[in-house]
Every structure is written in structure tokens, then in C-alpha cells.
Amino acid sequence: MMTLAGKRLLLIVSGGIAAYKTLDFVRRARERGAAVRAILTRGGAEFVTPLSLAALSEARVFTDLFSLTDEAEMGHIRLSREADLVVVAPASADILAKMAAGAADDLATTALLATDKPVLAAPAMNVRMWHHPATQANLETLRARGVLTVGPEQGAMACGEYGMGRMAEPEEILAAVERYFAVDARLAGRRALVTSGPTFEAIDPVRYIANRSSGRQGHAVARALARLGAETTLVTGPTALADPAGVKVVHIESATDMLARCCAALPVDVAVCVAAVADWRVEAPARQKLKKTAERPPRLELEANPDVLASLAAAGNARPRLVIGFAAETESVIENARAKRAKKGCDWIVANDVSPATGTFGGSRNTVHVIDEGGVESWPAMTKDEVAERLSARIADTLAAPAAAGVS
């Protein structure tokens, strides 16, 4: 059992039936030597009492932003910054929305906005609230800012429904806390390059050729590599995502721009090409907006775009030790990906099915197959963040091995 001796946790308990589980979390954290202070929201106090939290934490519980006594003894700024880690459990849909929007209308949200420390959230809510696009968008925003999450799980709920939304069990939340403090810096001293999102290829000053890539998987890979200590550069096409924390971000539009900025980022140890780069561009984009007429639509002459993945794999002395591509396929996923790996000259291909029924493009989950010279490694369906973490761990293990172990 890992010790948390000397670690200081600020626990924020928001409203939800799962709040009762936080009492067990506090007990377990204290057994491991952690000091725990708690902020209890008005909603949270409907399910657990300040007295129960205070008894288990052996520390005063804070509830009121405007209490002069609280401000005199422990101001909200000091409270938010004296912890080594802020844990939000349960993290209701409401508090996640407030965190994403930067609201500060009570002590909990004010402390979250004022903190300069990492935050770990354990979401808990009704299954329909969990799957609502607003909640998923809020989570994407928070993860891009570096907020860590644990859970939720699938199961029966107090409301009588069944599905995703159950808060992770106390021991799982504690394990996530322990993982955070067990710093994994296997990629410290390494340099990583990641591409993400679509590219926009101009037709005229208004219109362009693009695709449905959201950039979520590429951004998640950049975050995961940075968390393992890599000095990470993300070259991204236009997306609606926030820039990942701790990553150098370069914004581009076209495939030509992406290749130029990727080459400028060399040398790197690993390049992960997740971007859905347009295969073609208009040969001669119009300088003015093309007007709609009664005649036939304009005929667009296309030409091939530069191949970013193949160019990095053939970069000579500047070639990264590990070059990884993504293959977004709608049929014959593994067969097409194997052919792509051979054609591009990269070390690995991460293949996924992006046919409309999968919801992969624009969605939050992914099912991938990692193809290298040793064969195919198929992973179960998981979130894009989980895919990124598992891929980054595989990268770290590979880079730690001798270069002769099958990696160029």
C-alpha cells in the first residue's frame, strides 16, 4: 500500500447521492497519511453533514464563502493553494459546468477558480445527464485544461436507471490520487511531435475542403505524452478544442502548413500523426468568392497534398526514432491499415473504424488496433483519453528499449 504521508488534499463535495462515499474516501486517505481538508457545497450538505466530514478528516469543514470567521482563519485563496491536489467528489454535472465556465458563485467554485494546483474530478450523475452533449463538452474543456478524471462507472443508479454515471468507488478514487503522486516521468528528456484535427484546403476565400475530424484523439495524445514528461509540440488544424495544458501548440490550416511546421519542430524522438490530413487540395484556389450562377457549377481541379506522415518517416537523419500514423478507415480496417503502414514507411499504424455508425469522428470513444512489424494488437473500446494514455505508455516502453529492438 502506497503511503500518502505529507500529502495535502482539498476535497470538494458537491451535491449528489454519491456524496456518502466520500466519507470512506476520507477515512482511507487518512489511513495512508494524507491530510484532508474539505469544502462542502450546499447541495453536498443535503447528503452528508459537516460534522461527519470533520470527524473523519480531523479538520474543520468549510462551507461558506462569505463567513468572516472562515476568511480570517483560512481565506479561500489560501485554502485553494495549500493543497497538493484538489479532489472533486462527487463531481456533479452542475459543478463540472461551473468549472468549465469559470463560475465562482460559492466557496467550492471560487476555490477551484483560484487554485493553481492540479484537480482530480470523480463525475457522478444520471446516465442521461452524463451522455448529454453539454456535459461531454464541459469534460472535454476541462481535460484540455489539465483536469484529471476518474470514472464514472456503469451500473444501477439511485434513480432507478442503469448506465454510465455511477461515481467511482472510494478505493478507485484513492488509486487515482496515488497514481498522481507516483509521478511517471518516463519520457522526461524526450521530445514529441503530435498532429491533430482536420486540415482546411481553400476553394476560395470563403469555402474549403475539410473532413469531420474533431481533433479530440490528437489533443489527448499530446496531453498524455506531456504528462509523461515529454517536451511536446502539437501541430493542429482548426478545431473547437482548447489548447492542451503543458504543450506547445502550433495552429495551422492547410496540409502544406502542417508539413512545414512539423519539419520545423524536428528533431524529435517520436512523431504521432493523428491529424486527418486532406488528401487533395484545389490546384488554383479562386482569389474572390465563386458566384453561384444558373450555369453548371465550377469545375474544381485537384492536386495531391504533401504526405505529412510519409515525409516524417523518410526524413533521413532527422527521422524520429519512432514514427506513428493513424488510419481512419470505414471498411477492411486492419487490411487497409497494414497497407498504409507499408506505403508510408512508418513504424506503427493505429487503425480505427470511423464509419458513421461508430461515432468515432467527433465522439469521445474509440476502438483501435495497433499494427507494427510484430503483428496486430487490438484494444477494447475506451475513451480517447484512455487510448492516448495506453498509447503513450507503449511509446515510453519502446523508447526505453534499445534502438535495435525493431524501431528505426
Residues acting as catalytic residues: 159
Strand pairing class (375-378; 148-149): unpaired
C-alpha cell at 193: 511531435
Residue 148: how many CA atoms within 13 Å on its side-chain side? 19
C-alpha cell at 63: 462551507
Closest CA to 89 of 175, 14, 180: 14
Q: Is 9 in a helix, a strand, or coil?
A: strand
Indicate left, alpha or beta for 229 from its phi (over 0: left) and psi (-120 to 50: alpha).
left
Rounded-to-integer distance, Cα 308 and Cα 124, Å: 41
Strand partners, 195: 235, 273
Rounded-to-integer distance, Cα 373 and Cα 350, Å: 13
What spatial distance separates the first Cα and last Cα of the chain, rounded to whole Å?
Answer: 40
Residues 6+ apart with CB under 8 A from 336: 327, 329, 351
Rounded-to-integer distance, Cα 301 and Cα 306, Å: 16
- Cα angle at 109 between 107 and 112, to 5 degrees? 105
C-alpha cell at 99: 468549472
Rounded-to-integer distance, Cα 308 and Cα 259, Å: 5
Rounded-to-integer distance, Cα 108 and Cα 254, Å: 43
What phi and psi, each to the nearest 5 degrees, are found at residue 164? Answer: -70, 140
Would you call the peptide bond into 152 cis, given omega within 30 degrees of 0 as the criterion? Answer: yes
Strand partners, 149: 121
For 119-167, give the secondary structure using H, E and C: EEEEECCCHHHHHCHHHHHHHHHHHHCCCEECCCEEEECCCCCEEEEEC
Helix or strand run (H / E) with residue 249: strand 248-251
Rounded-to-integer distance, Cα 176 and Cα 189, Å: 25
